[in-house]
Structure 1
């Protein structure tokens, strides 16, 4: 991964990350956030995956259904946030829309994505603290404003 700090004004940092082929998008971005002490951070991205796993949350069972996509896809839209959990670890919550070879799309919660050939990410940090915690009603780990 290559990265560059684009701006650092009043506790607001902006970074660009460029991930390389073979990198796990979720692991790489989360590690970058942890290593750089990012708190409340918004994320957008475009690029492509060799394969990906997407999640769909079933509110009745309170479980994610994992949908694996084994083919090359274009990352048409990637949007989400990064926050800190109670244990101090960073957690990324990202949704993607993936374009398939036949021009159909698939979308959902990004569980894993293997980059090929690249993934370009923009991170924008807020000076505010953003934490995650378990929501008793849904069972999900949600932002706790």
Structure 2
């Protein structure tokens, strides 16, 4: 993965370009850790050779996993970064386009890039923290922290 700061104002903006074979979430996680990001938002487009989506099952308090084992277009990938237990945590949702024009989407758990994923990430000047929500069992952004 390569990156370049494209805006160094109060909100730093990075352009990240992932390469074939990169795993999107772990690559983004490693970047956020290397840059010590505490709060950010991002969008991306590109394509995956395969992916795994998640749908949060409220009753089970866990994600139902849906494999996508085909080449797909990343029509929209949006998410945020906030601190959880002292580390940046990625929260990403994606809409994927299939060859036949149909789409599927959900929480992006895993995505193998092919041929590219172009991410614009904007670092926020403040910081956000996540706190475990007892009702859902998820680490949600705590605006009051």
Scaled to the shorter chain, the TM-score interval is over 0.9
Deviation at 1:63, TM superposition (A): 1.1
Q: Distance in 1 between matches of 2:38 and 2:80?
A: 10
Between the two proteins, the alignment pairs up a number of residues equal to 143
Q: Identify the residue that residue 42 of structure 1 maps to in structure 2.
A: 41
Structure 2 unaligned residues grouped into runs of 5+: none
Pairing 1:89–2:87 present: yes
TM-score by structure 2 length? 0.96
Deviation at 1:61, TM superposition (A): 1.2
Pairing 1:8–2:8 present: yes
Q: Identify the residue that residue 111 of structure 2 maps to in structure 1.
A: 113
Q: Identify the residue that residue 123 of structure 2 maps to in structure 1.
A: 125
Q: Distance in 1 between matches of 2:2 and 2:56?
A: 32
Deviation at 1:57, TM superposition (A): 0.2
1:41-71 Cα offsets, whole Å, 9 max, x none, are 0010000000000000011111100000000
Structure 1 unaligned residues grouped into runs of 5+: none
Deviation at 1:90, TM superposition (A): 1.4
The secondary structure found in structure 2 opposite 1:26 is: helix
Q: Distance in 2 between matches of 1:103 and 1:129?
A: 39
Q: Distance in 2 between matches of 1:66 and 1:105?
A: 16
Deviation at 1:137, TM superposition (A): 1.1
Q: Identify the residue that residue 64 of structure 1 maps to in structure 2.
A: 63
Compute the RMSD of aligned alpha carbons.
0.7
Q: Distance in 2 between matches of 1:85 and 1:8?
A: 25
Q: Distance in 1 between matches of 2:92 and 2:16?
A: 16
Deviation at 1:40, TM superposition (A): 1.2
